[in-house]
Amino acid sequence: MQKRTLGTAGLEVSAIGLGCMGMSQSYGQAMETPDAVRLIRSAFERGITFFDTAEVYGPFKNEEVVGEALQPIRDQVVIATKFGIDIAGTAGHQGMDSRPQHIRDVVEASLKRLRTDRIDLLYQHRVDPVVPIEEVAGTVKELISQGKVKHFGLSEAGVRTIRRAHAVQPVAALQSEYSLWWREPEEAILPVLEELGIGFVPFSPLGKGFLTGTINADTRFDSSDFRNTVPRFAEEARKANQALVDAIAAIAAEKKVTPAQVALAWLLAQKPWIVPIPGTTKLSRLEENIGSSAVALTAADLANIESAVSAIAVQGERYSPQQQARIDR
């Protein structure tokens, strides 16, 4: 698989990464640890070198799984994890906690769970409204100087926060949602990332599964699946949003690839410093996602995709009101 570079400090990763969250939470029954370890190692064998986790996934369990899976090949991979969620419920910062000492404590615990001596990319999971981003960036800068962290990242941060953080400690990557059904980053985020030399790591690049074409208005999710709380996945919204999937599927059929591969290839074609991290619990889907890196979209293909999807208004908010409150603007 081809490599891409995140940030001006030269963090090199595979063009497609692996989001590991769904192995432990959010999309129904968690995987058994041996199965998750096997899938992560299969991803590496097939060319993926970039693995994304967070202390809150599980909580904690996902980091343990990723650590076990990658320990034998640690020096050949890039591990990204995150701090900033108030898991204990004691900080009282709208569910966030990016106090400097908390960041230090989280890093020490994450290093143990990940079975490593350094974190390649450490993201602030969500912007804490009561802790100045300069303090956050300064704390990560100290951790970088100590060799415990290699690169600093932000997640779902707005333009002003990105600029303020970057002035203290260069930001290697921003991780936020971006896909053919959530294109808001194109308005202000992508231009500032290009200006500052910051990479972009889209999560939910397949629209939480919707863009694969395997979900429709009749789909019923497991009771523990968080999509039950997402307005965009309400039955009426899915019915309305099917038009977007149908448009992508038609283009995929012409290219003799899958809708998921078109959606991921479209992201890769936007900028050379964009690295999507689709997640899965199935080897077949992993191989399908990896295959997207070999899908070449011509200028005509991209124009056709733009023409097909730009006229479709996606229905439903991408988060519940509570989750929306955590997004930095």
Residues 6 or more apart whose CB falls under 8 angstroms from that of 92 comprise 86
Residue at 3: amino acid letter: K
> Which of 137, 86, 81, 88 is closest to 112 using CA atoms?
81
Element (H or E) spanning 65, and its range?
A: helix 61-70
Report the distance separating Cα 143 and Cα 87, nearest Å. Answer: 21
Report the distance separating Cα 66 and Cα 52, nearest Å. Answer: 9
Alpha helices, DSSP H only, in 115-217? 133-145, 159-168, 189-196
Q: Which of 27, 57, 178, 319 is catalytic?
A: 57
Report the distance separating Cα 138 and Cα 135, nearest Å. Answer: 5
Report the distance separating Cα 294 and Cα 289, nearest Å. Answer: 10
Query: For 134, which DSSP code?
Result: H
φ, ψ for residue 222, nearest 5 deg: -55, 150
Active site residue 57: yes
Q: Write down the residue that tokens 């802790």 correspond to.
A: 131
Report the distance separating Cα 53 and Cα 122, nearest Å. Answer: 10
> Which residue numbers are catalytic?
57
